[in-house]
Amino acid sequence: MAATLSWSSLSKSFHFPRRPARSLSLAPRIACSSSPSPSPSPSSLPLQFNISFAPPKPKPRPGSDSDSRDFDFISGAGQQLFIPWIVRGEDGQLKLQSHPPARLIHSLAHAVTKEKRAKKKDKPKGTASAAAAAAGEPKYPKAARRFYNENFGDPPQRLSKVLAAAGVASRRSSEELIFEGKVTVNGSVCKTPQTRVDPMKDAIYVNGNRLPKRLPPKVYLALNKPKGYICSAGEKESKSVLELFDDYLKILGKRNPGLPKPRLFTVGRLDVATSGLIIVTNDGDFAQKISHPSANLSKEYIAAVDGEVHKRHLIAISQGTVVDGSHCIPDSVELLPRQPENPRPRLRIVVHEGRNHEVRELIKNAGLEIYSLKRVRIGSFRLPADLGLGKHVELKPVDLQALGWKS
């Protein structure tokens, strides 16, 4: 026997009045097959549903719980809560229950999970477009970007400068690569470092590798150099200050996806035993500008010495000494007050030429021995007092102006 029953058929056949405490007996007909049967089977008997409506909810009395539930089972004969869930049980019989079927709950939960997964897949990640979208930058058409680059972009630059800015090598090493014929421009070998090129238009290859069209951003950093680090990256047996920027370069790569990693270098040098302020950048023009003698930037050092410092020592330092064949005279020499935590005498020496080991030679020529030497100022920019050893800080435009740079 095949029996069919649906909620739509029930709603069409019977009308449920909204009067309270009135019991309805539903006996829907069962559609049976036309095969003869001598006696009715249990499945062909009419299904009985005792469905009734609860009476109106009484108003809460003063002092009663106001958060009582809207639906409560009411005790008493013939007073039951109407429940709309009509399901077929494991025995094949239809029945009423107070909660949705388990299959329906599982299907809804699975559908919500699929929707969340689809939203996650739609989100772009790891691309330059995703970073631009996150930053709220407008996306211009390709034709508009090409028009801007052709008419308002950076002018062509020397080939050696472009290679250095792209992080291939230093400018001098880039010139050697060009002279050796390892650089091609638009399919032709170029051996002239002064050739003007535009990475956005010209196809530049170095040792068979294509140079990126977009150059890395300009970076300007101030480092509090610790002792034991050198300022060059060529010697593998010594620790370089550039190793202190590995984590910073990883963060910069995530901040600017799709751009090559900048090649950092120091502006000037501090010897391995000297600590303090040093500028690190990837802008060759900036480095050349502030390190050239014409910039006339003064540099301030604090030197701790062994022994006592007398007036004759200060006079000897102020008279200068010969360094690399040139007579170097400091701008000023001053004996600083003693500090309780540092019993050694401290000297403040200001120079502007910045020759190799100039401050150490001045103190040595006066008959004193240096215990420690630290640079604390370049131009008008002073090393931040709260910047720890081995830490760096990004320079702001006002800091670049203090170094004499006008972009």
Pair 66, 46: CB distance under 8 Å: no
Q: Are 379 and 352 in contact (CB under 8 A)?
A: no
Cα separation, 201 vs 284, whole angstroms = 22
Matching residue, tokens 């007092």: 385
- Among 287, 176, 177, 302, residue whose Cα is nearest residue 231: 287
Cα(251)–Cα(48) distance, rounded to whole angstroms?
A: 72
**Amino acid in the structure at residue 326:** S
3-state secondary structure string across 317-359: HHHCEEECCEEECCCEEEECCCECCECCCEEEEEECCCCCCHH
Could you tell me the two tokens for 284? 């060759």
Looking from the CA of 137 toward its CB, the CA atoms found within 13 Å total 10
Question: Distance of alpha carbon 222 from its chain centroid, rounded?
Answer: 21
Which of the following is catalytic: 271, 285, 306, 324?
271
HSE (CB half, 13 Å, CA atoms) of 128? 8
Distance CA 48, CA 27 (A): 5
Q: Beta-carbon neighbour count of residue 70 at 10 Å?
A: 5
271 is catalytic: yes
Active site residues: 271
